[in-house]
């Protein structure tokens, strides 16, 4: 990579970072909308984007200490460039002189040639004073953990014995899990296929469909991916199909289906079910579900609609199983989406909880007598998890029939058995 290319990639990473921090856009959204660099540069771009957001709070604290005066409000891209530069000096295997030079060049790519001296001075000062700076940082919990204060306090309150482990896991790059399509191959056969391709992987104790790769791979390089033999999905997300206790001839609803991984796994796990109905209110995301079904050779009924307002789309035929994979604060998947630490706010927890309650109240009448509803989220927040199930149990008799059986809930914390943070609980309706 030439110096000019290195500068260009760092400039793009800074623009993306600034868009996330300043405009509140998700990292994946901005990456999709950005001009894709060459394949050779794409991995560096993702490393810079994800890393600078994963360590945002630490990097911002360091930058504040190193700057002689605060940057102006309109200097969002310049501020992002300094954070990107500090990130690469601490975590990337790039020679210090090359990292500094490329970052200085990036200032010119951003149209800020006048700031080249500032970028150079800040990064070189870090190289001289970094050790002392990090000693001073020891008493600043937001910087040490790279988590916002409100999130740290919630984790400490809800998980007093585990919060340090959760924080550490959140700051690690995520592993890559695959889900083997039981309709096309077996886990053992696919592991053998991976081995032949020179890709190391191992099966999991649960679920039986899961394969953990030793190193992340581009989906296009996975053998059998295009043919529908395998999908990318965290092992924790793969638990849903088993917890539904599927049987032939059942009618199943996935109420918040996009992007379709759990819907597909339901069809892969029990091809004999009568019908799988996948509902989502986002038409573009529902199109992703459709494309995923086509790749996996699966058939389901896709409905564009609001799961919380079933009167708009329900045909009044009850479902034997309902999966409510509810929208949530996503605090359990921060390692996959580090921008959550920047984008999420404390008040978002309450908003999510209100929406989840509406979903459960609206969907409970659609469940057949003797049927099972499985509630899941990818968060660690008790307000969005245990509290929602308790409210459903209390309100169910007044909504439509009482609860017959309360399934044991399970909270998977981030990093547990290499899985993402997930919550599951199921309830069954009285006959």
Contact assessment for residue 397 and residue 362, using Cβ atoms and an 8 Å cutoff: no
Retrieve residue 386's tokens. 């245990």
Query: Biggest alpha carbon distance in the chain?
Result: 74
Contact assessment for residue 174 and residue 336, using Cβ atoms and an 8 Å cutoff: yes
The span from the CA of 333 to the CA of 27, in Å, is 14
Retrieve residue 280's tokens. 């989502």
Contact assessment for residue 207 and residue 233, using Cβ atoms and an 8 Å cutoff: no
The catalytic site residues sit at 378
Contact assessment for residue 13 and residue 52, using Cβ atoms and an 8 Å cutoff: yes
Retrieve residue 409's tokens. 């809930």
């Amino acid at each position: 990579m030439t110096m000019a290319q290195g500068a260009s990639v760092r400039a793009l990473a800074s623009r993306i970072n600034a868009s996330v921090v300043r405009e509140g856009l998700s990292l994946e959204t901005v990456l999709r909308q950005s001009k894709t660099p060459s394949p050779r540069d794409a991995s560096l771009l993702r490393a810079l984007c994800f890393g600078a957001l994963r360590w945002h709070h630490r990097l911002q604290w360091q930058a504040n200490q190193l700057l002689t005066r605060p940057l102006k409000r309109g200097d969002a891209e310049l501020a992002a460039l300094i954070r990107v530069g500090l990130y690469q000096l601490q975590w990337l295997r790039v020679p210090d002189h090359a990292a500094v030079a490329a970052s200085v060049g990036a200032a010119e790519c951003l149209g800020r040639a006048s700031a080249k001296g500032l970028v150079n001075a800040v990064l070189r000062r870090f190289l001289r004073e970094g050790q002392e700076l990090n000693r001073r940082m020891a008493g600043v919990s937001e910087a040490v953990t790279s988590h916002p204060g409100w999130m740290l306090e919630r984790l400490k309150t809800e998980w007093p014995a585990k919060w340090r482990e959760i924080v550490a896991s959140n700051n690690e790059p995520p592993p890559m899990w695959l889900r083997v399509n039981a309709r096309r191959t077996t886990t053992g056969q696919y592991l053998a296929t991976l081995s032949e391709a020179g890709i190391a992987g191992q099966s999991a104790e649960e679920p039986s469909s899961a394969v953990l790769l030793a190193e992340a791979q581009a989906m296009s390089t996975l053998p059998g991916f295009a043919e529908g033999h395998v999908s990318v999905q965290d092992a924790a997300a793969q638990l849903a199909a088993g917890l539904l206790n599927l049987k032939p001839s059942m009618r199943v609803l996935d109420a918040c289906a996009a992007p379709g991984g759990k819907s597909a796994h339901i069809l892969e796990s029990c091809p004999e079910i009568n019908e799988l109905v996948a509902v989502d209110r986002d038409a573009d995301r529902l199109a992703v579900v459709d494309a995923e079904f086509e790749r996996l050779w699966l058939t389901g009924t896709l409905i564009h609609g609001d799961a919380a307002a079933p009167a708009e789309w329900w045909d009044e035929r009850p479902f034997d199983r309902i999966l409510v994979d509810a929208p949530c604060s996503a605090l359990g998947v921060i390692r996959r989406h580090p921008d959550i630490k920047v984008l999420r706010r404390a008040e978002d927890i309450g908003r999510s909880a209100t929406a989840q309650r509406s979903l459960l109240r609206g969907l409970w009448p659609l469940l057949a007598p003797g049927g099972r509803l499985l509630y899941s989220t990818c968060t660690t927040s008790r307000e969005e998890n245990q509290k929602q199930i308790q409210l459903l149990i209390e309100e169910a008799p007044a909504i439509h029939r009482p609860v017959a059986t309360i399934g044991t809930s399970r909270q998977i914390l981030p990093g547990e058995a290499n899985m993402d943070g997930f919550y599951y609980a199921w309830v069954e309706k009285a006959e």
